[in-house]
């Protein structure tokens, strides 16, 4: 294995190199649904069907 | 993608394990109620029975995991690695870490991966807030690039705003660069992994297109203190057995522990975009213990999530003292309690919900044990006077039955649930020859006994810490997600007293109250009260460096190659820094070549 420990380096040269960012290759990451919508449950739909009360 | 249900064998093991745990819990609760109902049924007695059911059920479940993992597991098939397909990136999210140690690990991992014939990029994803610390990271990164020749292959980026903490950090990478890779090996700042392990993980991904996440079982390296060595021993000796039990019950809904795992990037991207929960922290806001949720989301989307305890060459570091351990526990406690919001989230597999429940119980049970002790003392204080003449026309008095025998049997049964699985693991290790790596049968047995004694002493202290953490979370205190206290070592007695005086005071208060109100119970409560009283001493003593013969593990006698390489890099960097070698130029490209 290459001995990585005994190496000096030119910090000024190295830090000046700016191409440190990972490649630009976007990938969509949709937000997942983890909570049931408060008014979308079966029970609340039934309740609203039977008692269609308008919120004040 | 259609979800593959667990096979009949997995379902049978699950049913047997859960059923046995519930049965043992019911037996313990029944014994407790039988003993306490003799002077009439009181509300406190019913509460005691219920608490006994939950707490014993939890212990029994742990024992079942060990039993299920006792017999050896055949190593999974090792498919052929195809170097021509699939691009891999190793992700190292960091936040306020020691950059020299962290980047030295990256150098060692990078070299090991190259040696294994794998081509992989590395991306260090910094969430460090402090500008000076970030500057040190940039300097360390420049050194890393110079010594590895990793320009264009090893990346470093720092986020301006660290939304979503670690999960958000990885998410930001995937949103920016995810399409460039097929697989991502996710590590922690203190992780080490052998290149051969990475190669085997990629091969598994290549062979099974439905595999979304493959988790390894990391072993602890670099332990120095007595506590650290005990944890290292436990992780190397007990954890493989418990994880085998877990693996036998996981089906396609295995765990994710946040690091030392490989994910299929498309699966992760399409399934694991975590929303912030409605409401404010600690129960609302960003999900803290994101790994459990990501595993559940992958399984919900039909991907296979699996842990393979037979995959070797995966490492991490552990806490070195009780205070670091308690600090980590505070984070995990808040994160796991937040999962109460997700127990009934839409679409999750039943086993994923059960995993959430286990995570919650892991902390709640501590508080329930504390509550059980309080209720037991209260029940004794408020117990009605015995009625020696229950019948009106009675010549001789009726004395209440002595139930000490039942209570003692119950106590021994609970202790047995804690100790017997570990003794069974010793037997397994001796029979399979695994004990040789831990210093032979006798030394292994001594190490296990010492570890049991240590955990028994620390259990009441951890119970108090965890109960406090639960009360803090329930009262709405957000502990945030502070940086890990890595390499935090020895704690002086004075510092331990300052940090844990409140634990001693709690222990003293409990013992004094019991002595005053229910002196008969003092003897029963001494195993809990005395360690609490002595908490500062325990904390200080167990944080001391330990070089003795107990807690031998194979990795100490024969350190992994990647760890040896890491130490060499670290030593070299430290030496060159102290010698002012930073100013030197040249030579880097020679080594990189």
Task: Check B179 against A8: CB less than 8 A apart.
Answer: no
pLDDT at B484: 58
Of the pLDDT bands very low, low, confident and very high (cuts 50, 70, 90), residue B420 is: very high
Percent of chain B with pLDDT over 90: 77
Tokens 């500057």 appear where? B135
Calculate mean pLDDT across residues B43-58: 93
The nearest alpha carbon in chain A to B579 belongs to A8
Percent of chain B with pLDDT over 70: 92
Calculate mean pLDDT across residues B282-290: 94
In this predicted structure, the answer to whether residue B413 has a pLDDT above a threshold of 70 is: yes
List b or e across B495-506, with b for residues whose CB sees 16 or more CB atoms inside 10 angstroms: ebbebbeebbeb
Which stretch, B129-133, B348-352, B381-385, B583-587, has highest mean pLDDT?
B348-352
The nearest alpha carbon in chain B to A25 belongs to B177
| Lowest-confidence region among A48-52, B64-68, B121-125, B510-514 | A48-52
Of the pLDDT bands very low, low, confident and very high (cuts 50, 70, 90), residue B592 is: very low
In the stretch 258-287 of chain B, residues with CB closer than 8 A to chain A read 265-266, 269-275, 277-278
In the stretch 423-462 of chain B, residues with CB closer than 8 A to chain A read none
Angle in degrees, 0-180, between the axes of helices B290-300 and B350-381, rounded to the nearest 10? 140
Of the pLDDT bands very low, low, confident and very high (cuts 50, 70, 90), residue B485 is: low
Between CA B255 and CA B306 the distance in angstroms is 6
Calculate mean pLDDT across residues B277-294: 94
Q: What ipTM does the predicted assembly reach? A: 0.82
Calculate mean pLDDT across residues B3-20: 90
Say which of B89, B148, B275 has its CB closest to residue A4: B148
pLDDT at B403: 67
Rounded to a whole number of angstroms, the distance from the CA of B14 to the nearest CA of chain A is 26
A30 touches chain B (CB under 8 A): yes
pLDDT at B76: 79
* Contact by Cβ (8 Å): B542, B322: yes
In this predicted structure, the answer to whether residue B421 has a pLDDT above a threshold of 90 is: yes
Q: Which helix (H) or strand (E) holds B414?
A: helix B404-432
Between CA B216 and CA B247 the distance in angstroms is 11
pLDDT at B573: 86
Q: What is the DSSP letter of B164?
A: T
Calculate mean pLDDT across residues B391-419: 75
Would you tell me how many other CB atoms lie within 10 Å of the CB of residue B549? 10
pLDDT at B362: 96
pLDDT at B585: 40
In this predicted structure, the answer to whether residue B590 has a pLDDT above a threshold of 80 is: no
pLDDT at B489: 82
* Angle CA B148–B153–B156, to nearest 5: 90
pLDDT at B239: 97
Greater confidence (B156 vs B477) lies with B156
Rounded to a whole number of angstroms, the distance from the CA of B321 to the nearest CA of chain A is 30
pLDDT at B405: 72
Tokens 């593959």 appear where? B4
In this predicted structure, the answer to whether residue A17 has a pLDDT above a threshold of 60 is: no
pLDDT at B406: 72
Written as six digits, the tokens of B238 are 């007990």
pLDDT at B28: 93
In this predicted structure, the answer to whether residue B472 has a pLDDT above a threshold of 70 is: yes
In the stretch 552-581 of chain B, residues with CB closer than 8 A to chain A read 565, 568-573, 575-576, 581
pLDDT at B589: 36
In this predicted structure, the answer to whether residue B39 has a pLDDT above a threshold of 50 is: yes
Task: Check B588 against A7: CB less than 8 A apart.
Answer: yes
In this predicted structure, the answer to whether residue B8 has a pLDDT above a threshold of 80 is: yes
Greater confidence (B138 vs A50) lies with B138
pLDDT at B3: 64
Tokens 């890099």 appear where? B569
Task: Check A35 against B139: CB less than 8 A apart.
Answer: no
A22 touches chain B (CB under 8 A): yes
Greater confidence (B577 vs B222) lies with B222
Calculate mean pLDDT across residues B437-456: 97
Calculate mean pLDDT across residues B456-467: 96
In this predicted structure, the answer to whether residue B476 has a pLDDT above a threshold of 80 is: yes
Rounded to a whole number of angstroms, the distance from the CA of B88 to the nearest CA of chain A is 13
pLDDT tens, residue by residue, B373-393: 999 888 888 877 666 666 767
Rounded to a whole number of angstroms, the distance from the CA of B341 to the nearest CA of chain A is 8
List, in sequence order, the alpha helices (H) in B543-584.
554-557, 561-578
Best of A16, A21, A28, A29 to substitute, by most chain B Cβ atoms within 10 angstroms, is: A29
| Lowest-confidence region among A1-10, B52-61, B515-524 | A1-10
Spatial neighbors of B507 by CB under 8 A, at least 6 apart, are B460, B464, B528, B529, B530, B531, B532, B533, B535
pLDDT at A42: 59
Of the pLDDT bands very low, low, confident and very high (cuts 50, 70, 90), residue B580 is: low
Between CA A4 and CA B44 the distance in angstroms is 66
Of the pLDDT bands very low, low, confident and very high (cuts 50, 70, 90), residue B481 is: low
Between CA B285 and CA B281 the distance in angstroms is 5
Bridging pattern class, strands B304-308 and B314-316: unpaired
pLDDT at B249: 96
Task: Check B145 against A17: CB less than 8 A apart.
Answer: yes
């Amino acid at each position: 294995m290459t001995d990585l420990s005994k190496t000096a380096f030119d910090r000024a040269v190295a830090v000046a190199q700016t191409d440190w960012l990972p490649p630009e290759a976007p990938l969509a990451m949709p937000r997942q649904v983890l909570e049931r919508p408060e008014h979308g449950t079966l029970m609340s739909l039934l309740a609203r069907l039977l008692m269609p009360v308008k919120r004040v | 993608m259609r979800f593959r249900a667990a096979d009949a064998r997995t379902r049978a093991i699950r049913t047997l394990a859960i059923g046995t745990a519930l049965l043992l819990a019911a037996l313990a609760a029944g014994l407790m109620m039988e003993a306490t109902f003799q002077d009439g049924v009181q509300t406190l007695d019913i509460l005691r029975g219920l608490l006994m059911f939950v707490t014993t059920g939890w212990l029994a479940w742990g024992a079942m995991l060990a039993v299920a993992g006792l017999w050896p597991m055949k190593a999974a098939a090792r498919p052929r690695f195809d170097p021509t397909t699939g691009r891999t990136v190793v992700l190292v999210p960091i936040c306020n870490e020691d950059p020299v140690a962290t980047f030295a690990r990256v150098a060692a991992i990078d070299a090991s991966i190259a040696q294994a014939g794998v081509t992989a990029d590395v991306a260090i994803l910094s969430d460090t807030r402090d500008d000076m610390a970030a500057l040190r990271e940039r300097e360390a990164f420049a050194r890393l690039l110079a010594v590895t020749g990793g320009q264009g292959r090893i990346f470093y980026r720092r986020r301006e705003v660290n939304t979503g903490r670690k999960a958000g950090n990885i998410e930001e990478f995937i949103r920016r660069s995810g399409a460039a890779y097929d697989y991502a090996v996710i590590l922690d700042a203190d992780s080490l992994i052998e290149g051969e392990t990475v190669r085997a993980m990629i091969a598994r991904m290549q062979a099974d297109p439905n595999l979304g996440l493959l988790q390894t079982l990391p072993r602890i390296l670099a332990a120095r203190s007595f506590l650290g060595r005990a944890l290292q021993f436990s992780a190397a000796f007990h954890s493989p057995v418990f994880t085998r039990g877990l693996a036998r019950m996981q089906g396609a809904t295995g765990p994710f522990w946040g690091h030392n795992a490989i994910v299929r990037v498309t699966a992760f991207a399409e399934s694991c975009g975590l929303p912030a929960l409605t409401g404010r922290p600690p129960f609302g806001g960003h999900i803290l213990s994101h790994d459990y949720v990501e595993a559940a989301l992958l399984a919900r989307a039909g991907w296979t999530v699996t842990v393979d305890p037979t995959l070797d060459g995966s490492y991490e570091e552990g806490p070195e003292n009780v205070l670091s351990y308690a600090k980590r526990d505070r984070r995990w406690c808040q994160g796991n309690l937040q999962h109460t919001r997700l127990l009934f989230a839409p679409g999750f597999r039943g086993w994923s919900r059960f995993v959430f429940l286990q995570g919650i119980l892991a902390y709640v049970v501590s508080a329930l044990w504390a509550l059980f002790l309080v209720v037991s003392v209260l029940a004794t204080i408020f117990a009605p006077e015995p009625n020696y003449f229950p019948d009106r026309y009675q010549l001789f008095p009726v004395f209440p039955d002595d139930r000490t025998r039942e209570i003692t049997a119950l106590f021994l049964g609970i202790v047995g649930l804690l100790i017997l699985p570990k003794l069974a693991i010793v037997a397994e290790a001796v029979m399979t020859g695994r004990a040789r790596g831990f210093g032979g049968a006798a030394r292994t047995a001594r190490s296990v006994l010492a570890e049991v004694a240590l955990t028994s002493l620390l259990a009441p202290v951890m119970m108090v810490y965890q109960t406090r953490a639960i009360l803090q979370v329930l009262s709405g205190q957000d502990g945030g997600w502070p940086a890990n206290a890595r390499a935090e070592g020895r704690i002086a007695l004075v510092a331990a007293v300052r940090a844990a005086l409140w634990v001693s005071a709690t222990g003293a208060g409990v013992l004094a109250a019991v002595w005053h109100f229910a002196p008969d119970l003092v003897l029963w409560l001494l195993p809990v009260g005395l360690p609490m009283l002595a908490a500062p001493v325990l904390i200080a003593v167990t944080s001391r460096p330990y070089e003795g013969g107990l807690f031998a593990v194979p990795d100490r006698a024969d350190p992994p190659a990647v760890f040896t390489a890491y130490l060499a890099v670290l030593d070299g960097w430290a030496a060159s820094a102290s010698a002012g070698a930073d100013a030197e130029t040249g030579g880097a490209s020679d080594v990189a070549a």
